[in-house]
Amino acid sequence: MPTYQKTEEALAKLSPEEFYVTQNSGTERPGTGALLKNKAAGIYVDIVSGEPLFASSDKYESGCGWPSFTKPLEPANVAELRDASLGMMRTEVRSTHGDSHLGHVFDDGPRDSGGLRYCINSASLRFVAREDMEAKGYGDYLDQVEDVA
C-alpha cells in the first residue's frame, strides 16, 4: 500500500493558485478550473499527496462552476470538517493525508446517487487517466472506473 503525504518537494511544484487553494483554503473562480469539463475515464488524486479521492464515474455536471462528484473513491482519504467562514455553516472537504483543502460537500446532489455534491476545486486535483492508472500505481482502482464510450 502506497504512503501518501505532504512533502516540501510536492509543495514546491505547486502553481501559485494550487498553493493558495490547497494550503490556504482558497477557492478558484467558478468556471475556470482545468478539470471542470473533463469527461475522460480515470481518477482524481490530491495534487499534493497523490492520495486517490474521486472516480470519473462519480463525476457529474452540477452547474455550480466546479467539478462535482457524488461520493469519494476512497472515503478514508476525504475528511469532512465544519466550516463557519463566510457567515454560514458549511462542510469543508480536505484530503486526509495531504491535508489539502479540496472544497465543500453539500446535500443538493443527485438523489439517486446518495444526494451529495462534493464541490471540488480543480486546483486541488490531479487527473490520472484510466490507461495510465496501472503504471502510476493506481491499478487497484481500475475496477471502479468505467471506460468512456
> What local confidence, expressed as pLDDT, does residue 90 receive?
80
Instruction: Give the domain ranges of the chain.
Output: 8-141
Share of the chain above pLDDT 90, in %: 87
- pLDDT, one tens digit per residue, over 86-114 is 666 789 999 999 999 999 999 999 999 99
Residue 83 pLDDT level (bands cut at 50, 70, 90): confident
Smallest CA-to-CA distance from 60 within 14, 120, 19 is with: 120
pTM, entire model: 0.93
Q: Which residues pair with 119 in a beta bridge?
A: 68, 104
Catalytic hit among 21, 73, 116, 119? 119
Q: Is the pLDDT of residue 148 over 70?
A: no
Smallest CA-to-CA distance from 98 within 35, 13, 27 is with: 13
Question: Cell numbers at residue 91, please?
Answer: 462542510
Residue 64 annotated to the active site? no
> What local confidence, expressed as pLDDT, does residue 76 receive?
95
- pLDDT, one tens digit per residue, over 20-60 is 999 999 999 999 999 999 999 999 999 999 999 999 999 99
> What local confidence, expressed as pLDDT, does residue 100 receive?
97
> What local confidence, expressed as pLDDT, does residue 1 receive?
58
149 CB-side CA count, 13 A: 0
Residue range 8-141 in CATH 2.170.150.20? yes
Q: Is the pLDDT of residue 73 over 90?
A: yes
